[in-house]
Amino acid sequence: MMNGNDNNQPETRIIPQSELELKYLLALEETKRANKKIEEEEKTKRENKKIEEEEQTKRKTIEEQEQTKRMKIKHTQSLTLNGILWSSHQNFYVNVVHGNLYDFEIDWVSSNDNDYFNDTIKICIKDYLNKLSSLKRVYETDLQTNFNDLIANLLNAFDDFTLLQYKDTVGSSYLESKFSPDCTFIFKNINVEINCLQDFAVCLGELKCSDKDMTERRFTDQLLQYLSILLTKQMRPKIYGFLLNTEYIKFYYVERRPNPSNYNFYQSKSLPIYDSSSEKSSINNRQKITTNEKSKNN
């Protein structure tokens, strides 16, 4: 007789619901831990990349700062060689100008020049001198104001015959952000801010009161250093300037030698602003011409 139960059949195990939930929760927890580990690894990578980028930026900044320092040192050495950074105008003269200052001849108002030009210049200068002579005492501010008017009148009169424009640069500190020439001339087709003038100035002037000697060396020291700065900044072959008081004007120029770090310096003699003898000479010449014409007619 056969038993109703087949002992050869495998036993089927029924897994409780609670055990399935436990396995699911364990698998879920494992997945969370794996995802968290991946997130932490990604976070670490991002942080390391950020640190590396910051280090690269820091290194680049340091390199740029070092390069800037080297450029400044090189520029300073160059400027020092050209006499710009001397502690005073006197030191500049002693170390750079002394032994390299030469005289040069310059013509003032010539009887061979255009009579219209000469007459116009004389009228403007006489008006300028009359205004100064009306003052009980002439201060540099008075000299500057009247000189500004003189130059404005001359440039207006010769507008079609001059390439220059004039700037009153007292107190401007445009030269090396330190020095302020009284007068600056640039070409009139150039329009620049005052702090850019040192790149374009072609002539500088310094005005001195009548009670200050034009031959006083400290004025020469000052102007020649200003001109040397311009010559170095612009790499021109030559740059011009002048000293002026109520009676005389004296011209200067600085010229680059074949060695670009060395200069020669030149000065004219002091010339009277207004030479009354030229007026007398002109009158005498006209009288002579008139006399000759009468003689011919006779």
The string of DSSP letters for 97-108 reads: ITT-EEE-----
All structural domains of the chain with their residue ranges: 20-81, 91-284
pTM of the model: 0.63
Give me the amino acid identity at 290: T
Rounded to a whole number, what is the distance in angstroms from the first to the last CA of the chain?
185
In order of 78, 172, 262, 288, the CA distances from 258 in angstroms are 16, 32, 8, 51
Dist. CA 129–CA 251, nearest whole Å: 19
Dist. CA 35–CA 28, nearest whole Å: 10
Question: pLDDT digit of tens for each residue in the chain (298 aa)?
Answer: 445 555 555 555 555 667 777 777 777 788 888 888 888 888 888 888 888 888 888 888 888 777 766 655 544 444 444 544 567 888 888 888 888 899 999 865 544 556 667 788 889 999 999 998 898 888 889 999 999 999 999 999 888 888 999 999 999 999 988 899 999 999 999 999 998 999 999 999 999 886 555 667 788 899 999 999 998 889 889 999 999 988 889 999 999 888 766 899 999 998 888 766 555 444 444 444 333 444 444 4
